[in-house]
Amino acid sequence: MSQKLAVVAGGGGFIGGHLARNLMEQGYKVRSVDIKPFDRWYQVHDDAENMQLDLMELDNCRKAYAGADRIYQLAADMGGMGFIENNKCLCMLSVLINTHSLMVAKEVGVERFFYSSSACVYNADKQKSEDVVPLVEADAYPAMPEDGYGWEKLFSERMCRHFREDFDVPTRVARFHNVYGPFGTWDGGREKAPAAITRKIINCKLTGDHNIEVWGDGKQTRSFMYIDDCVKGINMITDSDDVLEPINLGSDELTTINGLVDMMAEIAGIDVTKHHNLDAPKGVNGRNSDNDLIKKYLNWAPAIPLRVGMEKTYDWIHEQMTADVDSTVFTS
């Protein structure tokens, strides 16, 4: 039987790099595509076909998806709160990637099109209190998502729905809640809270200066999903014949940002003094994933404990920060 071709758009990124490796382990032939030059990919898999293309261009989508059985669309211009609050237009331009990717998926006739949406689609009014009620899928409407990034994700979700309904493109959509782990962004301005906090804690340990800046008052509540759970969930959702509408893919282990800082300090074996920067971007006050729907459909939900995943993330970021050479690119 000939191998099926899975194309990972955004394969040079954090989640795409992990997913590409996992798909090869499952027996797929993998093509990873990303706009970044190869020396900036988090993982370059030698046994995959790797292409550098700007997927905002329709012709490039045709090159990227030629012969594809499955498309995993993870490419987006994105980052943590510091990036998305200050780059709304760049975030919205990712709509070109999604539009052209869906148009070509229809031309090619793929057996599955997976789209990576986000918890940032949820109505901001439901996330005003730190004392959160976990978000159920229906909470995305009436729409008042995160400005810029969240609107683009919500619009692209709708396109996935209508390409499925009108053109029979078998789309599947997951709403990721904060994903973290090794081989992801940990500095430079696009990093998310778990990586940023880990870097700051390691910096405290390495320099001996145990003062740490925390964005906001630190009372914001969040859940964080380890990358292995994310990849497993993408596979299950994509394979499912039942999960047709967008579904939460996130941990429901809630923590405060202050709690995460304390956890990381404990992992590092140091005491730190927190300095809260109330002017820094901090996002919504509270957010958690309601996992009833994913449990109902897939009899599974992300379960890797935060402490377990953060210990692995700490070790990897520590390696990066103490390496002699620029080692942001790894060959698996």
**Catalytic residue IDs:** 149
Residues whose CB falls within 8 Å of the CB of residue 109, separated by 6 or more in sequence, listed in order: none
Grouping H, G, I as helix, E, B as strand and the rest as coil, residue 24 is helix
For residues 112-141, which are near ligand NAD according to CB under 6 A? Answer: 116, 118
227 touching ligand NAD, by CB under 6 A: no
- Binding piece for ligand NAD, criterion CB under 6 A, among 74-82, 159-167, 251-259, 301-309: 74-82
Ranges of H-type helices in 182-279: 193-207, 227-239, 257-268
Site string for ligand NAD, 166-195 (x = CB under 6 A): ----------x-xx-----x------x---
Please classify residue 150 by burial: count the beta carbons closer than 10 Å to its beta carbon, then call 0-12 exposed, 13-18 middle and 19+ buried. Answer: buried
Residue whose CB is less far from ligand NAD, 216 or 246? 246
Cβ-based nearer residue to ligand NAD, 172 or 205: 172
Whichever of 149 and 205 has its CB closer to ligand NAD, that residue is 149
Q: Which of 13, 148, 170, 286 binds ligand NAD (CB under 6 A)?
A: 13
- Within residues 275-314, the interface with ligand NAD by CB under 6 A covers none
Q: Is 154 in the site for ligand NAD (CB under 6 A)?
A: no
Binding residue (CB under 6 A) for ligand NAD from 44, 97, 102, 173? 97
Nearer to ligand NAD, 54 or 217 (CB): 54
75 binds ligand NAD (CB under 6 A): yes
Distance CA 239, CA 234 (A): 8
Nearer to ligand NAD by C-beta: 13 or 170? Answer: 13
Binds ligand NAD by CB under 6 A, chosen from 5, 30, 68, 78: 78
Number of residues in contact with ligand NAD, rule: CB under 6 A? 25
- The nearer residue to ligand NAD, 55 or 169, going by C-beta atoms, is 55
Indicate whether 15 belongs to the interface with ligand NAD (CB under 6 A). Answer: yes
Instruction: Return the CA Rg of the chain.
Output: 19
In the bound state, the residue with its beta carbon closest to ligand NAD is: 13
Contact pick of 3, 26, 27, 36 for ligand NAD (by CB under 6 A):
36
- Rounded CA gap, 39 and 41, in Å? 6
Give the number of other CB atoms < 10 A from CB of residue 209. 11
Query: Any contact of residue 16 with ligand NAD (CB under 6 A)?
Result: yes
Residue 294 has φ and ψ, to the nearest 5°, of: -65, -35
* Pair 254, 191: CB distance under 8 Å: no
CA 72 to each of CA 9, 18, 27, 31: distance values in angstroms, whole numbers, following the listed order: 6, 12, 16, 10
**Residue 256 CB burial class (10 angstroms; 0-12, 13-18, ≥19):** middle
Q: What are the distances in angstroms from CA 210 to CA 36, 184, 191, 215?
A: 35, 25, 21, 16
Interaction of residue 85 with ligand NAD, rule CB under 6 A: no
The DSSP call for residue 169 is -
In the bound complex, what is the minimum distance in angstroms from residue 126's beta carbon to ligand NAD?
Answer: 17
Asked if 212 is part of the footprint of ligand NAD (rule: CB under 6 A), the reply reads no
Cβ proximity of 179 and 14 under 8 Å: yes
- Cβ–Cβ under 8 Å, residues 242 and 297: yes
44 counts as binding ligand NAD under rule CB under 6 A: no
Which of 6, 23, 24, 35 touches ligand NAD by CB under 6 A? Answer: 35
- CB closer to ligand NAD, 163 vs 183: 183
Task: Look at residues 151, 76, 100 and name the one whose alpha carbon lies nearest to residue 121.
Answer: 151
| Binding stretches for ligand NAD (CB under 6 A) | 10, 12-16, 34-36, 54-56, 74-78, 97, 116, 118, 176, 178-179, 185, 192
